[in-house]
Homo-oligomer: A and B are copies of this chain.
Amino acid sequence: MPYLELAPEYAPPRSEFSRPGILSAVARINGFVHHTPVLENAWLNQQLGCRVHFKCEHFQRGGAFKIRGAMNSVLQLSEEQASRGVVTHSSGNHAQALAIAAQMRGIHCTVVMPENSPAVKMQATRDRGALVVTCQPTQAARIAATQEIIERTGATLVHPFDQATIVLGQATAAWELLTDVPQLDAIVAPVGGGGLLAGTCLSAAWFHPDRRVPVFAAEPTGADDAFRSLQQQSLVTEQKPQTIADGLLTTLGQWTWPIIQQQLSGIVTVDDQEINAAMRIFWERLKWIVEPSGAVSLAGLRQLLANQRKIFANGATEPQIGVIISGGNRDFVPV
């Protein structure tokens, strides 16, 4: 259970990421995305000796938090930009989210996917009205194909995580969480590209009535670029990911890294067995389908409570912890 305790500088974030910036995103996407429920489980609270408040983004439109950033981005396009559509490269939840967001605004959407993506994911994206363009399964080919579409059609790129509008959109999840449960002692969120984690850090800094809420990141051991970046205090952009958490394979970006570096209180890594154990708790006890990436935050919390419980102490005998479940898009297994 590698754990890295951080002493964040808490530098004020750049002006895009102000309190009003987040509140504007909240107002903008209101009605287009769900204000998802925050739910507890009595058995689990007793097992863990704390109150765990799950932010249920697996019940979000499209089955994951991604619609927040996508919607916040699509709604800020000018009429002229909107007429030329949006484009992204993703084989995961962002692809469907952008397709849904574009459909809600009534604009064109193109998604670049590696040609070896599962047919079911391509079809799900097409079902949301998007055009799917396939490319060779390399990062370079993805970017080249996306660039080619931008040059040819004038479409606007909506990146899966590394844009200010995306970070601000994802920040609305923790804003809702803190609005519904103001007494939180800490928040645990998963980290892949860092859009959700950076947004969570921002809301945790701005939206508690009288203090900053510490944020802890949970990352798969097999894709631990954020852990290594924080350890060496410089952005790591290389990794050969190997984990079942297929939503967390990417490395941090230019927009997400500085926020995380300045605001995060700690990071823990979890292996695939620990991720499966967390998924099993959701399955057996809460009767929820949670995808591996979505279970990483509970897996991380369990490790922190087993080994580093003191970080949640904060004077509270029974700490109250927000845990963000990022998504629930797991392939169906018939009986």
Structural contact, A330 and B335, CB atoms closer than 8 A = yes
A335 touches which one: B59, B279, B284, B328 (CB < 8 A)?
A: B279
In the complex, chain B residues whose CB is within 8 Å of the CB of A328: 287
- A261-302 CB contacts (< 8 Å) to partner B: 272, 275-276, 279-280, 283-284, 287-290, 292
Residue positions of A touching B, CB distance < 8 A: 58-59, 63, 244, 272, 275-276, 279-280, 283-284, 287-290, 292, 328, 330, 332-335
Nearest chain B residue, comparing its CB with the CB of A246:
B335
- Closest CB of chain B to A256's CB: distance in Å? 26
* A-B CB proximity, top 5 nearest: A287-B328, A287-B289, A276-B334, A244-B335, A280-B332
Question: How far is B290's CA from A59's CA once the two chains are assembled, in angstroms?
Answer: 16
- Closest CB of chain B to A248's CB: distance in Å? 13
Given contacts A288-B288, A288-B289, A289-B289, contact A283 B335 (CB under 8 A): no
- Closest CB of chain B to A271's CB: distance in Å? 13
In the complex, chain B residues whose CB is within 8 Å of the CB of A244: 335
> Which residue among A63, A279, A330, A335 has the maximum number of chain B CB atoms within 10 Å of its CB?
A335
In the complex, chain B residues whose CB is within 8 Å of the CB of A289: 283, 287-289
Question: How far is B328's CA from A332's CA once the two chains are assembled, in angstroms?
Answer: 15
- Closest CB of chain B to A73's CB: distance in Å? 24
Structural contact, A332 and B284, CB atoms closer than 8 A = yes
- Closest CB of chain B to A283's CB: distance in Å? 5
Given contacts A63-B287, A328-B287, contact A276 B335 (CB under 8 A): yes
In the complex, chain B residues whose CB is within 8 Å of the CB of A276: 334-335
Question: How far is B287's CA from A193's CA once the two chains are assembled, in angstroms?
Answer: 24
